[in-house]
Structure 1
Amino acid sequence: MSSAANERTAATLGSNGDGPVRLSILDLVPVGDDAGPQSALRWTTELAKSAERWGYHRFWVPEHHSFPASASPAPAVLLAHLAAVTQHIRLGSGGVMLTNHAPLLVAEQFGLLDLLYPGRVDLGVGRASGGHPVINRALRRDVRDDGPETYPEQVAELLGFMGRGFPDDHPYTRDDVHVVPASRGLPVWMLGSGMSGAEVAARFGLPFAGAYHINPEQSLVAIDTYRDMFQPSATLQKPYAMVSVNVVCAETDTAALRLARSGALAMAWARSGLSVSVPTPETAEGHTYTAAEQEFTLQWLSHSVHGSPETVRHGLEQLRKRTRADELMLTTLLPSSDARHRSYELVAREFGLHDGTSSR
């Protein structure tokens, strides 16, 4: 990777130190009970434009297959659309599940995005933990690629295609394989809620996004491990950790809790294998919870940050202090686009993003 590309990657990360926290958004493109995927995509488009106006730093979208609660199975396609309707906000994948794709295809897709929208694209990659066997078969996944021991090889191949090159004895060192169009050094992030992503990020000297919103306790250990094991690279000289967290903000603590129960129940259903959309607050209120659902939702809510703007600010500041995060990425799982927009807007106002006082 060229020195110019290295400087470009470093410039997109920066370092907040003890200054104002940098805030970003992971939008799950949630599909509610009362609307379909087309509406969800329209709302995400409007949210991306609003997030740019409000002053958020990044806007990422996930990769979910056969998951009715999210309308984001193809991040590269959605990112191309979002980049076309925004001007400067950074856009990225949170993330591309590398076990679902050939590294060459990922390098080509994001190389194309990088040329179309230079300086605005992040490639976040993760290791899918393994879904339903039928879905894996439909994705043509090789079961041999599911183990954590093969993941570093997949990442190394991706980085090779992204500009780091290959060892002299590697079969791709010859000129037979060309990445067209080649990336000019767009940032590659490792995502993870556990140890494999953290260790790979540290080994290759890459920024790490710890999925606190998925697995709070394990992600805390993973972030510490990442910092302890980090090896400087041409891309990054010191560790850079972003922490994703579930956030619901409303005018009052009571209103925010009522909204947050929707996402909690949706995730409880997803963990039990049910393929459903995100329930409304009314559905969540009237639902008769099983013991397992009750336990899960209480735990989920205890690790999310929800409440009034002041309560959310305190919760996010405490999380940042606990994790020493360089950046926080907020994700809000609500079926109502209005409530979701309002939540992010209230946080932006509380942190002064509107008036440019944040570190952007």
Structure 2
Amino acid sequence: MLPAPPSGTAPFALSVLDNAHTGVGQSAQETFSAIIELAQLADRRGFQRFWMSEHHAMPGAATSSPQLMLARLTGETERIRLGAGGVMLPNHVPLVIAEQFGMLESLAPGRIDLGLGRAPGTDLPTASALRRGREANDAFPQQVLELLGFLEDDFPKGHPYENVHAVPGPWQAEENGVPRPGTPDTWILGSSPFSAQLAAQLGRPYAFALQFGDADVVSAMRIYRENFQPSEMLAEPYTMVSTSVVAHDDAEEARRQARTGAMAMLRMFTRQSYKVLTPEEVEAYSPTLQERQILDTYTQRSAPGTGPQVAEHLDHLHELTGANEIMLVTMGHSRAVQRRTVELIADHYGLPQL
């Protein structure tokens, strides 16, 4: 994988992650239309990649299958890389994921990313409904190796799956006498030393999800870089950090929208349904002192502000981590504000109009 070029005047590439947030009063159809608009905007403005996340049984997050949305986006965009950030591999069978992303790579050659995570992306009852066992996280490294074997069609001789092939993929091309196709760029996702160590051992790019909490991103980056083993895919370490942001011309409106995301997190912590309420509903809520602390923490974690204020947060994050790339996790009830966030950051860093 070739390193991504810096975006505009920034010393790091810029990308976008959409969690398919579906606010109260919004339909899934409206959300998917808005996702297409946001991906097209990111494509026009020269962002490096556009990723979708996987969540289950959450009314505030509509992509239970990011690969389905990516299939639509291959025909709605032109140059931007498209990916899952990520596929929660313990929820799935590796062969099926290899087949699905082989199809995506065939639809948009050279533009597909496959980010792999081990979290359930949901609560415990739903994880059980997904047939996810208690040992799922422990088996994650073996699942990743199995998936890579299918994607690259390179199981060693004598392996039980030596003659099992993911189609479309390299084996089908060889059988049909056509050039061997490329494979999706495979990333390891996480927010812990475990994921950093695994990405380093496999020689894969590493994406750290900082939006989930106060995890030690500096140590994870150090572990990844110090232990990195070059692979056919990647000669040198390559890192990305994702962070929640809300930018608007009016800093107060940015804060109001960030508060709606914070309220969704509070609801989840208090075992309520993960919903993205309107700013008015959030303002009408009377939190306890402890709830207010959670709301304040997650509001500030989204770095709400004007374009320059959010960019200051991104610059500091780059100085702290040395990341090659920063991914904007768009937040808030308003899809218009999410689009404005992308526009303001693109303008600040001088990204081109393509």
TM-score by length of 1: 0.90
What's the secondary structure of 1:95's corresponding residue? strand
Which residue is equivalent to 2:152?
A: 163
Q: CA shift at 1:105, angstroms? A: 0.6
Q: CA shift at 1:119, angstroms? A: 1.0
CA contact (8 A) 1:61 1:95 kept: yes
Which residue is equivalent to 1:180?
A: 167
Which residue is equivalent to 1:346?
A: 344
Distance 1:315 1:286 in 2: 29
Kindly provide the CA deviation profile for residues 138-183 of structure 1, in whole angstroms up to 9, marking residues without a partner as x: 2122333233xx211111111111116234442222x2x1111116
Q: Which moved more, 1:258-267 or 1:102-111?
A: 258-267
Which residue is equivalent to 1:62?
A: 53
- Measured at CA, do residues 87 and 354 of structure 1 come closer, stay the same or move farther in structure 2, by a change above 3 Å? same
Match of 2:25 among 10, 34, 45: 34
Q: Give the % identical residues.
A: 40
Q: Which moved more, 1:28-37 or 1:288-297?
A: 288-297
Match of 2:79 among 84, 88, 99: 88
- 1:166 maps to amino acid: F
Which residue is equivalent to 1:287?
A: 285
- 1:185 maps to amino acid: T
Structure 1 ranges of 4+ moved more than 6 A? none
CA contact (8 A) 2:267 2:275 kept: no
Match of 1:240 among 238, 241, 253: 238
- 2:60 maps to amino acid: A
Q: Which moved more, 1:127-136 or 1:246-255?
A: 127-136
Match of 1:127 among 118, 135, 142: 118
What's the secondary structure of 1:203's corresponding residue? helix
Q: Which moved more, 1:267-276 or 1:110-119?
A: 267-276
Which residue is equivalent to 2:251?
A: 253
User: Are 2:267 and 1:278 equivalent residues in the alignment?
Assistant: no
Match of 1:98 among 89, 92, 99: 89
Which residue is equivalent to 2:140?
A: 151
Distance 2:92 2:5 in 1: 32
Distance 2:153 2:302 in 1: 38
CA contact (8 A) 1:334 1:340 kept: yes
Task: Show structure 1 runs of 5+ residues with no match.
Answer: 1-9
Distance 2:137 2:207 in 1: 20
Which residue is equivalent to 1:263?
A: 261
Q: CA shift at 1:90, angstroms? A: 0.8
What's the secondary structure of 1:145's corresponding residue? coil
Q: CA shift at 1:333, angstroms? A: 1.5
- 2:264 maps to amino acid: A
Kindly provide the CA deviation profile for residues 79-113 of structure 1, in whole angstroms up to 9, marking residues without a partner as x: 00111111111100010000000111110000011
Distance 2:227 2:266 in 1: 34
- 1:45 maps to amino acid: I
Q: CA shift at 1:16, angstroms? A: 4.5
Q: CA shift at 1:129, angstroms? A: 4.8
CA contact (8 A) 2:247 2:306 kept: yes
Distance 1:203 1:16 in 2: 26
Q: CA shift at 1:56, angstroms? A: 1.3
Distance 1:19 1:85 in 2: 27
Kindly provide the CA deviation profile for residues 189-214 of structure 1, in whole angstroms up to 9, marking residues without a partner as x: 01101222212111100001100111
- 2:225 maps to amino acid: R
Kindly provide the CA deviation profile for residues 220-250 of structure 1, in whole angstroms up to 9, marking residues without a partner as x: 3322221122111111111100000011101
Match of 1:115 among 106, 120, 123: 106
CA contact (8 A) 2:60 2:274 kept: yes
Task: Show structure 2 runs of 5+ residues with no match.
Answer: 171-181
Distance 1:338 1:131 in 2: 27
Distance 2:296 2:283 in 1: 14
Which residue is equivalent to 2:319?
A: 321
TM-score by length of 2: 0.91
- 1:71 maps to amino acid: A
- Measured at CA, do residues 41 and 213 of structure 1 come closer, stay the same or move farther in structure 2, by a change above 3 Å? same
Q: How does 1:70-81 map to 2 (within 5 A)?
A: 70-81=61-72
CA contact (8 A) 2:86 2:114 kept: yes
Q: CA shift at 1:77, angstroms? A: 0.7
Q: CA shift at 1:130, angstroms? A: 7.2
CA contact (8 A) 1:243 1:327 kept: yes
- 1:294 maps to amino acid: R
Match of 1:14 among 4, 28, 41: 4
Q: CA shift at 1:15, angstroms? A: 5.7
Q: CA shift at 1:39, angstroms? A: 1.1
Distance 1:281 1:212 in 2: 24
The number of residue pairs the alignment matches comes to 342
Distance 1:191 1:179 in 2: 23
